[in-house]
Amino acid sequence: MLLLVIGMLFWIGNHNFLTAYNLNTIFGYAVLLLLVGLGQMCAILVGGIDLSVGGIMSFVSVVFVTSIGHLGYWAYPPGILIRIGVGYINGNILTRIRIPSFIATLGIGGVLMSLAMLVAPVPINVPATIWKLLDIFNGSILKVSNVLYIGLITLLLYTVILRFRAMGRNLCYGQQHQNVLDVGDRHR
């Protein structure tokens, strides 16, 4: 309800607020926060926190933008691999060295921000010649931004895993509640 009230107040202030273009832009930025929030949610569900998110986003963005001109579509996999690698490093620091997540991820985030500044110490722009390579995210289908579709698919995937898979239920409810759910599933 609050979101509807705020939307109406903005629309009263400016009748262009509820246009398709503006809503597409707002939802496009909101999806980025959704994706980061879903990842952060998993860290919080296990009793930790991940403060390296900003550093990961900065470093991967800089590596991606600097390499897309040379690698084309092959610039996407290194970004994914960097994210997986940082998650692996964070996980090992937390579980093997036993440094609290607040301290470990804050440190890793600082390192990644520094690396981003080393890779690109000045602001970088994507040349117009490679904009077509970014259409995976910047493009649209049926006048709806592709980023919105990606966000909805990711949200659906998270929902299915967290609600209907044993791993997700264990993450959300803990082992004690998981046993009760498993017993209930067997009686169906």
pLDDT tens digits for 42-93? 888 888 899 999 999 999 999 998 888 888 888 889 999 999 999 999 999 9
| Furthest-apart CA atoms within the chain: distance in Å | 62
Structure tokens belonging to residue 178? 């998981």
**pTM of the entire structure?**
0.75
Neighbouring-strand partners of residue 140: 145
Find all residues with CB under 8 Å of 148, minimum gap 6, and list them. Answer: 24, 27, 28, 31
CA 102/CA 48 separation, integer angstroms: 7
Q: Position of tokens 């964070």?
A: 90
Q: What is the pLDDT of residue 71?
A: 86
- Cα 101 to its chain centre, rounded Å, is 19
CA 103/CA 142 separation, integer angstroms: 45
User: Per mean pLDDT, which range of 5-9, 15-19, 94-98, 178-182 is the poorest?
Assistant: 178-182
Q: What is the pLDDT of residue 178?
A: 47
Reported as a pLDDT band with limits 50, 70 and 90, residue 135 is confident
- Cα 21 to its chain centre, rounded Å, is 23
Nearest to 152 by CA among 39, 27, 56: 27
Condensed to tens digits (0 to 9), the pLDDT of residues 142-186 reads 878 888 899 999 999 999 999 888 888 888 777 555 444 455 555
The pLDDT of 112-131, averaged and rounded, is 85
